[in-house]
A and B are shown apart, each in its own frame.
Chain A
Amino acid sequence: MARPAEIVCDALVIGGGAAGVSAAVELARAGLRVELAEQRASLGGAYHRQPSGTTATTSARGRRQWLRLTAGLAHFAIAPRLRHVFLGVDTDGLGLLDDREAGRVRTVRARALVVATGAVERILPRPGWQLDGVMTAGGLQMLLKETGEAPPGEILVAGNGPLNIALAADLVRLGRPPVALVEAGDPAKNLGAALRIATFPGLIGEAARHLARTGFAGTPWLRGATVTAIERDGARLAVSIEDRRGGSRRIHGDMVALHDGIRPNDFGLPAVSIGEPIVVRAGDCREVLGIRGAEADGIAAAREVMALLSGTALHRVAPEVSRQRRAQALLAELFRPVREHDGLRHLPDETVLCRCEGRTVGELRAMLAGPDPIGLREVKLNGRFGMGVCQGRFCADAVGEIALAARPDLAAGPLSRDRWPVRPVSIAALAAPDESRGE
């Protein structure tokens, strides 16, 4: 029984990045009625979207990809629903979209869902990471793109992975080289991986270009080093850095950009399911595979949906996806942190862990140390870890890791279950009258 306000379709694709758009086009090609929802005001995702709302990509290959994908949308007359935030699937099997333009939540009756919500930055907790002036490298990069200039003051970039190099290069380009680029890995030394990565031209080319730019600007590139603390020092921030031999130094700055890699953006999202509605994942939200992998994975996801709808199970095989998986593995090896990961055992007790609720590492350890073998859900409820507005996006991984380090017997599991709303949603939008709802 469809309600008047309900959107009815065969497949709802969530996320307008390369993976979502390619999945939508492929599903439409097979004759399915497709809806494509994107939370932002324009399509493109992490790679193709430009701040002005246009979607011009810098590399020629990237531009070709985006032209191909948008031509597909036009050809099959898929009108994306922009500024529609996916909230989850309810117990009636309805997909819920927060239509920010209209200020109301819309329900979607779909036989299948393709979740292609991309990746989010991973930020490891460190003492002082909650201070004003500390932000994520991705957030800063977005700011640079949007304003075309760097915020005032000296900027230190720290963490792990290629994105930090790209950010440093952007800062150099804007005439504001960072005071230091602190990298936990040592990509310069990992020659073997670097050589093998050369067989994936897209990947190494960009990194090398970025690096050359940063190097020329005289920014110190501290490899095998980590930020152990950030403190306020008058109007500035004092950043303590430890090198691979345990030596330490302090560098002052006005702003710190942190980034420790990316992970699938799957917080609270519905689990993969072969029942109705069918739920599959695609792109970075399934597995971080980069931009070429995303397009291929979108197509593979669409084929999986079609197979499931026709009652056959399909084992997803896509050569390009496997190839990009190898590339990502090499990239990970190249940037592998020099120091062994210690399950965050090194963090001092006073480190803030949950920034929304101001809960510390010590409070978590104390909860786990008692004689009663408390479980993760109890930790969440009673410790308020992951209970804040960010719904655990920033702390869930770290809470799990610290908990496991303290109590290896704990059953590992996600801190949050798949519950809607996966994002905070206006009460007015949820309460908006639905014609079917007789008052």
Chain B
Amino acid sequence: MAGIIGGKSVVVVGAGIVGAATTYFLSKRGFHVRLIEASAPASAASGAADGAVSVASKRPGPMMTAALRGIALYRELEREGLFAGLFKSRPTVMVAENDSEVESLLGHAAALAGEGMRLRHLEGDALRRRLPGVAPHVRLAVEVFDEGHAIGYEIVRRFIAASGVPVERDSPVTGLAANDAGTSVAAALTAGGAVEADHFVVAAGGGSAALLGLSEAMRPRKGQLVVTERAPALAASLPGSLMSCRYLLSKDAIRTAGEASGRRFGLVIDPLRTGQFLIGGTREDRDDTGNDHDAVGRLLAGAVRLMPALARLRAIRAFAGVRTAIRDGLPIVGRVPGFDNLFAAAGFEGDGICLGPLMGREVSRLVGGEAADLDIAPFAPGRFERRNLVA
């Protein structure tokens, strides 16, 4: 069997940021990788995301710890040159517009500081000086330092180019086949035939549910975003991305105005390297990638309320992506119980750009037989009941 002789081949399913990162780190370790993709690299969430590489938006706990490590890896890969020109270092500025938001922002800032994040509170004149474009009714801003931004599809492309692995496009994996003993995965099944390997990594975003038998635990969460024309002067007046506190609320299960329709509105105004603004986003319990006037209108109305000068710009593009959310709010990362050579990394919801490179590296360690570098126990795939993994 190939596995016994070489011991070095891996099939990675899915060429989003997680699959691309996994491929890169496995190649560096000398594995022979086949990267099999249903359509094209970054064609799903990784190509339709805002790219906050951010701790600010995380809740204390395993996700915040992971995010801190995720940012550190971005900086490391930037220093090494791999991410040269792709990582924009900048703070995240969280703002509160009313009493209840001030209260939740103060609490959140305390939690961030507790994790060792550098931050400062801005009020009154200091707030106006630092954020001249922000509406006067904004009561409190918390500037969280040492954060950044990266564009998902650019990172994906960089990883793939550096790995030297040609992506096998337009070939959905329809199932995984077990060996006779039922202890290992023997092959990934595609229309072009069965692809054998020693190890298998499922990093297929929303497509992972079917392959891993985890449909019960995963659900789609659509997000709509808008891109403006270039406005370099206005973009330069913002030190970093502007995040409404409502974003935190939208991440929680807390009910807000749009909740009845399964739709919540977060608000992030992100000045891009190009001088454009990226404005997002919704959280909707559906999995299409269209835009509707109602959502876009509400998003932009919120953005203009926060930063009135945006009203003078034009929107040039709207798009939507689908995040893969997990029932308990934590991703799935690790070896899949019952199989000694199957690994999963999926379900990163709104945090996969930040965490993708890190999780790719963690998975490459697991495949290489090493222990993970991060405590991934909370992300264990075994915490959910599985149905019918293998075809």
Contact = CB atoms under 8 A, between A and B. Distances in A.
Interface of A: 90-92, 94, 96, 105, 107, 370-373, 375, 377-378, 381-382, 387-389, 391, 419-421, 424-428, 430-434, 437-439
Contact of A424 (B47, B166, B296, B315): B315
B40 interface: yes
B181 interface: no
Interface string B167-200: 1010000000000000000000000000000000
Given A375-B169, A431-B303, A431-B311, A391 B316 contact: yes
Given A381-B42, A381-B47, A105 B318 contact: no
A431 B228 CA distance: 13
B314 A437 contact: no
Interface stretch (B57-65, B109-117, B152-160, B334-342): B152-160
Given A428-B304, A433-B301, A437-B301, A381 B153 contact: yes
Given A372-B160, A419-B319, A431-B303, A426 B291 contact: no
Given A372-B166, A437-B297, A424 B314 contact: yes
Contacts, number: 105
B161 to A, nearest CB: 7
B40 A375 contact: yes
A21 to B, nearest CB: 27
B125 interface: no
Interface of B: 40-43, 47, 153-154, 157, 160-161, 164-167, 169, 228-229, 257, 288, 290-294, 296-298, 300-301, 303-304, 310-319
A371 B166 contact: yes
Given A105-B297, A420-B291, A431-B303, A425 B311 contact: no
Contacts of B257: 438
Nearest to A382: B157
A420 B298 CA distance: 16
Given A90-B292, A387-B317, 11 more contacts: A90-B290, A90-B291, A371-B166, A372-B161, A378-B157, A424-B314, A424-B315, A428-B304, A431-B311, A437-B301, A438-B257
A389 B228 CA distance: 9
Candidate in A96, A382, A432, A437 with the most chain B CB atoms within 10 angstroms:
A382
Candidate in A90, A96, A389 with the most chain B CB atoms within 10 angstroms:
A90
A433 B293 CA distance: 12
A88 to B, nearest CB: 9
Contact of B169 (A90, A91, A373, A434): A373
Nearest to B224: A91
A430 B303 CA distance: 11
B312 to A, nearest CB: 7
B371 to A, nearest CB: 32
